[in-house]
Amino acid sequence: MDLDTLLSFRWSVMLPEFIILGVATLLSVIDLFMKKESSRKPLAWLAGAGILAALIAIFMQLDIEVTSILYDTYRLDSFSKAFKILLLLGTLLVIVLSSNYKKEDLEENRGEFYYLLLAALLGAMMMASSADLITLFVGLELLSLSSYVMAGLERRNKRSNESAFKYIVSGGIATAITLFGMSYIFGLTGETNLFKIAENMGNLELLEHSFLIVFAFIITFAGLTFKIAAAPLHMWAPDVYEGAPVPVTAFLSVVSKTAGFVILLRVIIICFIAAPGIDKEPILLQVQPYVMVLAAATMIIGNVTALRQRNIKRMFAYSSIAQAGYILVPFVSNSSLIFELIWFYLLAYLFMNIGAFTVIQLLTSQEGSNDIGVFRGLFRRSPWLAVPMTFFILSLAGIPITAGFIGKFGIFMGALGLEQPQYWLASVMMATTLVSYVYYFNIIAIMFFRDSDGTKVSIPGGMAAVLAFCAASVLILGVMPDLALDFFYGNFDVNEFFMQIETEVHTHDH
Amino acid sequence: MNTWLLSILILSPLLGVLVLLFTPSQDEKSIKWIGILGTLFPLGTALVTLSAFNKSGEGLQLAEKFQWVSYEVFQSNGDVSYPIFYEVGVNGLSMVLILLTTVVSVLAAIASYSIKKDWKSYFILFFLLEMGMIGVFASQNLFLFFIFFEITLIPMFFLIGRWGYLEKEKAAYSFLIYNGVGSAILLIAFVAMFMKTGTMNFEQLAYTFSLPQSELSDMNITKDFKMGMLIALLLAFAVKLPVAPLHSWMVKVHVQAPPPIVMLHSGILLKIGAYGLIVFGAGLFPDQFESLAFIIGLFGLINLLYGAFLALTQRDMKRVLAYSSVSHMGIVLIGLAALNEAGMTGAVFQVVSHGLISALLFFLVGVLYERGGSSQLKDFGGVAKRMPIFAGVLLAGGLASLGLPGMSGFISEFMAFLGLFETMPVLAAIGTLGLILTAVYVLRAVLAITFGTEKELSNAHDLSSTERIPAFILLAAILFIGIYPAWLSDMLRPTLDSILLGLGG
Amino acid sequence: MLQNSWLIPLFPLLSFVLLLIFRKSKSEGTAWIGVLLTGLSLILSIGVWISVWQGDGIKVEGTWFEIGERAITMGYEVNPLNALMLVIVSLVSFLVHLYSKGYMHGDDRFPVFFAYLGLFSFAMLGLVLSPNLLQLYMFWELVGLGSFLLIGFYYFKPEAKAAAKKAFVMTRIGDVGLFIGMILLFWQVGSFEYDEIFASVRNGDISSGMLTLTALCIFVGAIGKSGQLPLHTWLPDAMEGPTPVSALIHAATMVAAGVYLVAAMYPLFQASETALTVVAVVGGVTAIFAASIGLMQKDIKRVLAYSTVSQLGYMMLALGASGYVAGIFHLTTHAFFKALLFLAAGSVIHAVHTQNIDEMGGLWKKLRLTGPLFLIGALAISGVPLLSGFFSKDEILASTYADGRYGLFWLAVVAAFMTAFYMFRLFFLVFTGKPRGDQRGVHESPSVMTLPMIVLGVLAIVAGYLNTTWFGTFLSDYLAGGPVELAHGDHHGPGWIPIVATAASLLGIGLAYLIYQKGTLSGDWVTRSLPGLSNVIYNKWYVDEGYDATFVKGTKGLSKLGVLFDKYIVDGLVAAVVSGVQGLSKVGSRLQNGQVQTYGTFAIFGIVILLLIVALTGGYFT
Amino acid sequence: MSSVPLAAYLMLALILFCIGLFGALTKRNAVIVLISIELMLNAVNINLVAFAKYSINPGLTGQIFSLFTITVAAAEAAVGLAILIALYRNRQTVNVDEMDTMKR
């Protein structure tokens, strides 16, 4: 690969990534030269601006046909664009949300936080665009390593340390498992490019290895579910979420989770779409029961265990486990709606969860406690905090006229719209949703029905903006989901996801 | 004007919310006035709608429809789109229920004078609740129905949990979870039907399901699927109605919620269950409904007798009324199970009639609580002396509840039984035992309060002029329907006929 | 006149409404509203009756509402039977209104009382005018409401409360029978109209089993309303109401509605021999059963109440024994003399302020009008010749005998004896002998009270001549214009029947005289010789206690059982589910023990289990 | 294609992986835990290299993959140790089972 070949690639495809990379580098350099005691707030603005620029870049790319560079390892297709928007939006909101994080420890490390965040984002974006096991893996690790550090960002906080350590140990094991599975995928097909893998999986006389395919599938699938915190690799989430700083928790629960779904979709759907399972049945059909069990277990564990939580961050950790379970449902059903369903749900989830974490951030940092009691009488104290929080919770619980409902409705459509409708899975989902009512509405009850002894909560401008934006989005998407769906259908063609670009594009005129 | 009339009607309660948002939250008097006026606006709109409504017209009227949500599904055999529409419209049945909703809402708003705190949020939630209730009845597709159905849930949760009595939060949770179960089942059924047929519109669904089995098989719709859907729907609405043994939440709500809210709950919200049974159960799956008729009738009978037996020995007036609601909802089931015009009309009459009667009775219980600080029967006696009008209205309400001719309760009971006697005489004959028991428990409770030796009350004065408005209006409505049922039955006939056509054919 | 007959019930309704509006008025002049309006009803009724007597009739109907193709109608009908009833009801109602003006003097809720009376009169007149069963049923219930309100007029008295409740519930039990019968008939005939029902019966459209069933169901309604066995217990308790009410409702009109119902539905009953037999037996047994209880009661009104039950039994017996005319005849005469007796009793109570006959005595001299009037009533009810009761009772006995129901005949004779005995026991204890209570200030009632009694007294004497073998069977001829085919025509039983009847009543009077006036026979010889029996009779055969022990306790027990079921089974199941979820939650959070290595272990175990499942079920090893 | 050698490599890798896993899940010392994770990653490397040689489509891809893996593993170890040091400073212990302040 000489310079000519390198230059022949249409690097503009990676413009958003370059922007993020550049800003991250810039931030780290600036941080290095900044005085130790000076405020790092400008860094936040810079990071935010960088993300905005990347977002704009993506919007400019919207009408670009599916393209790929680096021998089809890096793709710009509808899928990557759609999910990158989510990733960028989520990170942007996390940055604004972190703007009032007052703890001394973070203040000291603030610069690090921003460029680590951007690095993690970069990893996630790489995952969205990669079509090769290697780049996928590199992206995944970029995201993971940055996240590990971010979780332990409060250096002097024992809980933060502990959470980071738990995160890295669990993450390391999960990485190893994922890689182990990937090595078998590679070994069975001799390829790392996803499309070629798919091709080989279909073509192979792999029948005698069909067990190995299923084995590889399950190992890889399980390993990848670590990021989305689905059973059985979910147990790190509560501890890590609890110990990590709130913005990081928000990032983990939204952006990192979105990235996890991105890689799951990429690897699982593309690699195994034509793969035979045991007895020549398509593997995706054959493993349905296992994925179903995983999804069901995730929903049950998340929702049921959340019932006993008094720590609000921990409760949201379990809640996010449960939400992951919901989003796993489309994987089971493999409905043709899978992309828009997951995309929409993640979009809704982004707004509601970041919105909720904004409120949590405000309250916990003011009260200095993570106990659920920080919500006590919030409606009396700060109705403008309580009302949006109510919307977020209602949305998380899947109550109509919120985005969460539409998302759940879509998942139901996916689950029940098959030849063999998944009534059981749908029932489990509804039953666990009911269980979730108990703890979600418990927060509402505490906000509205308990009398407060606390004081009014002041809301900084940035946070207010996040709150307003998230609340409005949750409601608007709940009432007019077509805004998002039309955007999706209008700009993204799901078929691109499966479109292999055979011939390398050699253009020198970019 | 008429093109948007229904949407305006559905959204009309929001006007009150809007005004309230700009009202200082400490100004109790103006908030309460806004509360009342805010419910008058929907009532006015409903009356305009009624005047625009052709009472003898067939089918749907004042319909509105536009595309709302669109999922496009890429399939090997071409793209299939699953559009979801915003579809509203009214037929005789829903018109009647909307009218009932708006009327009871106004009266409940008047009765809300007794609310002691947080008036602003109270009325905002109240309006949202009203919007949900109107929406439920105006919806013409499953999606919209479900959304409004759930919208009623949330304000109710708050209203019970914040403004209720001692164990309010428990009741609120009980309400939420039980109804959550109902709506969960409902959602599964709705989506399943949607995915099979590609439509959510009631009429289209009814048409699709009425196709011969050979055509249905092409859509992968089996008989078992239909039966399963019907059972799911029955279950879901059985929670709402409620059908014993799924009633315990309703008793809790009746006991713990503030009286105006119970007026709405018992008066309207429970009726959503009955409405759902009629529109979805009998309307969509007539054949299956027919084959389940005996079981439905049996459950109706159980409800009727179980509620009545339990009401007999309750010590709290609210609990008596709660179990009486269980019992009365049994009559709805009985009427439906009859599968004939008389029974169906009886069921709908019971829906309306019980809406009015229970609103009246719970209003009076609220007054009673106001006066005596309790609703335990043992704390009252000889109220007729100091509060003769109250006692008179309470007695009238009780008599209406036990089905005294000339009052609405009689018509519904009579017709429901008339219907059932044609198809299941034995069941009906056993059911008449309920009529006796009703008389026993109603008189026991009412007389315990109004008759007998007088007991001291902290605040014994008769109905004030504010209190008389709801009481007298409700009583007048009860009498009006009892004396001139044709007004209602004429409006209902086209709708019920079309449902019966499905059942008969 | 006939076209306006629908106005008859509306006048009292107007009275009800007006009086409720003037409910707070302290003026007792409000009574005149009621009196005047019922007076109008009376005048109209008499006018209608005269027209009907001349052979006219009318039936006007309009659709009330529709059920499918079938129209449910409402309207009014005048035929010989109900024209007669109209007169009886409006007459007694008018007189009672008048009487009450005096009797209720000084009551706080004076206008309310008249309002209730108006409501009752409205309902009763409406019932009578109904051209179909449904309308009848509706008014039937409203009549019950009026009765309920008036029994419970003294709402602050626990006894009144209990009695009102009991009356309503007991009659409701009967009403349900009527309800069922009515609906069953509807599905047989397709209409509630009397005419169409009778036509179907005539055409034999209804199977005989169904005929019997419906007739019996309807008869259950009559049992409830007319206080027949076994639903009679409410009627004596209903005496808790003010006495004029007892006269109007629980003697002359409402309780006769059961008899009227059977008479109105007579073609249906005629079609079923079983039904007639049941009616006759129930009536006969009730007659003697109630009479036996009347023998030993101490409360003046209760004696009269049991007497009413007994006389109603007579009427039922007559109807059951195909004595259609006899039954209605007795209904008419009974209305007059029993109303008279009650009003007289009311007058007595008004004077002495007690109802216990042990505290009366010697009132003849003090109540110079009431006493004789009471005597007239007593003679009439005892069947002493030439008074109204004699003729009607004689006719009943004759029909029973002619119908071949000899057992019932002799029962009736014994009952007649008992009637005479307890009536004169009452008379002697109240009016003769020495005063046994404080009788200071006892004086005759005002003329507004005595006037109605005088009118009734006259009627109690002359009403019997409506239908006699001597002067003419006016009533039979008159009723023959109705829908009922009088199968047996006039019952002229053997000539010895009147003699036996007269003998029985004279024997009763004589015995009462000997015991309670002369004292030659000791009153308590029965008590002494048959303590068990007399105790049972004194306690009204323990029927109330029996019901209490079985039905009331049973229902309550079931209810308690239901409450327990609700609490432990229904809520218990829910609690079980809840604690199940909570337990799961506990396990879940226990597993989350903070050890990252445990987490990893669980993850690996999860994956291994999945793999094992694949290996074992996927068929790889097979 | 000779399957016996490949199977041997795979078995070796599997055993190595399991040893690493066992170590990561049972050792009390955090450093050993981190090292065990490295072991697991290295087992994967053996897999990758073996597959690169013996799979149906032999080539360099697997080896390149393993280069990436090694690099990432190194980075992971570095980050892990850094976090561990921070933790050690605060708590004066490297015992994994003492790190359970957050649970339930």
pLDDT tens figures, C223-268? 888 888 888 888 888 888 888 888 888 877 888 888 888 888 888 8
- Reply yes or no on whether the pLDDT at A475 is more than 90: yes
Residue A275 pLDDT: 72
Across A184-188, B488-492, C1-5, D45-49, least confident range = C1-5
Q: Is residue A299 part of a domain?
A: no
Q: Is residue A220 part of a domain?
A: no
Same domain, A341 and A258: no
Chain C residues whose CB is inside 8 A of the D26 CB are: 597
Residue-wise pLDDT for A123-159, tens only, equals 999 999 888 899 999 999 999 999 999 998 888 888 8
Task: Please answer yes or no on whether C596 and A214 come within 8 Å at the CB atom.
Answer: no
Other CB atoms closer than 10 Å to residue B4's CB: what's the count?
12
Closest CA to B332 of B277, B290, B292: B277
How far is the C-alpha of B236 from the C-alpha of B240, rounded, in Å?
Answer: 7
Same domain, A256 and A395: no
What is the share, in percent, of chain C residues with pLDDT greater than 90?
A: 1
Task: Please answer yes or no on whether A379 and B121 come within 8 Å at the CB atom.
Answer: yes
Residue A290 pLDDT: 82
Distant-in-sequence, close-in-space partners of A194: CB < 8 Å, separation ≥ 6: A131, A132, A133, A136, A266, A267, A270, A271
Q: What is the DSSP letter of B454?
A: -
Same domain, A261 and A324: no
Of B310, B440, B486, the CB nearest to C563: B310
Q: Do chains D and A touch (3 or more CB pairs under 8 A)?
A: yes
Residue of chain A whose alpha carbon sits nearest to that of D59: A190
Of C589, C590, C596, the CB nearest to D99: C596
User: Which stretches of chain C sit within 8 Å of chain A by CB?
Assistant: 581-582, 584-586, 588-589, 591-592, 594, 596-600, 602-603, 605-607, 610-611, 613-615, 618-620
User: Which stretches of chain D sit within 8 Å of chain C by CB?
Assistant: 21, 24-26, 33, 96-97, 99-104
Tell me whether A231 touches chain C (CB under 8 Å).
yes
How far is the C-alpha of A214 from the C-alpha of A235, rounded, in Å?
Answer: 25
Can you give the pTM of this predicted structure?
A: 0.90
Residue of chain C whose alpha carbon sits nearest to that of A310: C589
Same domain, A372 and A466: yes
Chain C, window 142-171: residues with a beta carbon less than 8 angstroms from a chain B beta carbon: 142, 145, 152, 155-156, 158, 160-161, 164-165, 168-169
Chain C residues whose CB is inside 8 A of the B404 CB are: 141-142, 145
Residue-wise pLDDT for B315-368, tens only, equals 888 899 999 999 999 999 999 888 888 888 889 999 999 999 999 999 988 888
Task: Please answer yes or no on whether B147 and A431 come within 8 Å at the CB atom.
Answer: no
Chain C residues whose CB is inside 8 A of the B385 CB are: 155-156
What value does the mean pLDDT take over residues B254-273? 90
User: Residue B399 — φ and ψ, nearest 5°?
Assistant: -65, -40
Q: Is residue A144 part of a domain?
A: yes
Q: Is residue A17 part of a domain?
A: yes
Residue A249 pLDDT: 92
A11 or A374, greater pLDDT: A374
Residue-wise pLDDT for A92-120, tens only, equals 999 888 876 655 555 555 678 888 999 99
Chain A, window 382-401: residues with a beta carbon less than 8 angstroms from a chain B beta carbon: 394, 399-401
Residue A505 pLDDT: 45
D102 min Cα distance to partner chain A (Å): 6
What value does the mean pLDDT take over residues A317-342? 86
Residue B79 pLDDT: 57
Distant-in-sequence, close-in-space partners of A229: CB < 8 Å, separation ≥ 6: A236, A237, A257, A260, A317, A320, A321, A324
Across B108-112, C133-137, C526-530, least confident range = C526-530
C571 min Cα distance to partner chain D (Å): 30
Q: Is residue A337 part of a domain?
A: yes
Tell me whether C585 touches chain D (CB under 8 Å).
no
Q: Looking at the 3D structure of chain A, how many domains does it have? A: 2
Range of the domain at A133: 1-169+230-268
What is the share, in percent, of chain A residues with pLDDT greater than 90?
A: 36
What value does the mean pLDDT take over residues C91-112? 84
Same domain, A351 and A417: yes
Distant-in-sequence, close-in-space partners of B140: CB < 8 Å, separation ≥ 6: B60, B63, B65, B87, B88, B89, B201, B202, B203
Same domain, A6 and A125: yes
- Reply yes or no on whether the pLDDT at C334 is more than 80: yes
Same domain, A115 and A259: yes
B107 min Cα distance to partner chain A (Å): 26
Tell me whether A172 touches chain D (CB under 8 Å).
yes
Residue D38 pLDDT: 92
Chain A, window 293-332: residues with a beta carbon less than 8 angstroms from a chain C beta carbon: 293-294, 300-301, 304-309
Tell me whether C592 touches chain D (CB under 8 Å).
yes
How far is the C-alpha of B303 from the C-alpha of B333, rounded, in Å?
Answer: 9
- Reply yes or no on whether the pLDDT at A510 is more than 50: no
User: Residue B61 — φ and ψ, nearest 5°?
Assistant: -130, 160
D11 min Cα distance to partner chain A (Å): 12
Residue-wise pLDDT for C238-249, tens only, equals 888 888 888 888
Chain C residues whose CB is inside 8 A of the B431 CB are: none
Q: Is residue A204 part of a domain?
A: no
Chain A residues whose CB is inside 8 A of the C618 CB are: 211, 214, 277-278, 286
In angstroms, the Cα distances linking B151 to A356, B146, B176 are 21, 8, 12
A contact chains, 3+ CB pairs < 8 A:
B, C, D
C571 min Cα distance to partner chain A (Å): 18
Same domain, A245 and A369: no
Residue C80, token pair as written in the block: 């010989």
Same domain, A398 and A252: no
What is the share, in percent, of chain B residues with pLDDT greater than 90?
A: 24
Burial of B227 (0-12, 13-18, 19+ CB in 10 A): middle
Of A417, A444, A482, the CB nearest to B195: A417
What value does the mean pLDDT take over residues C400-412? 83
- CB burial of C512-535 (b: ≥16 within 10 Å; e: otherwise) equals bbebbbeeeeeeeeeeeeeeeebe
Residue C95 pLDDT: 87
Same domain, A261 and A321: no
How far is the C-alpha of A137 from the C-alpha of D70, rounded, in Å?
Answer: 12
C570 min Cα distance to partner chain A (Å): 20
Q: Is residue A145 part of a domain?
A: yes
How far is the C-alpha of C343 from the C-alpha of C449, rounded, in Å?
Answer: 8
Q: Is residue A123 part of a domain?
A: yes
Residue-wise pLDDT for B445-473, tens only, equals 888 888 888 777 777 788 888 888 888 99
- Reply yes or no on whether the pLDDT at A208 is more than 70: no
Same domain, A78 and A153: yes
Which stretches of C199-346 are assigned E, i.e. beta strand? Answer: none
Residue D3 pLDDT: 52
Distant-in-sequence, close-in-space partners of C593: CB < 8 Å, separation ≥ 6: D100, D103, D104
Of B69, B143, B148, the CB nearest to A485: B69
Residue D51, token pair as written in the block: 């597959």
What value does the mean pLDDT take over residues A277-282? 68
Same domain, A363 and A249: no
The H-assigned helical ranges of A307-397 are 312-333, 338-367, 378-381, 383-397
Residue-wise pLDDT for B49-105, tens only, equals 888 888 777 778 888 888 888 777 655 555 567 788 888 888 888 888 999 999 999
Which stretches of C417-502 are assigned E, i.e. beta strand? Answer: 467-468, 472-473
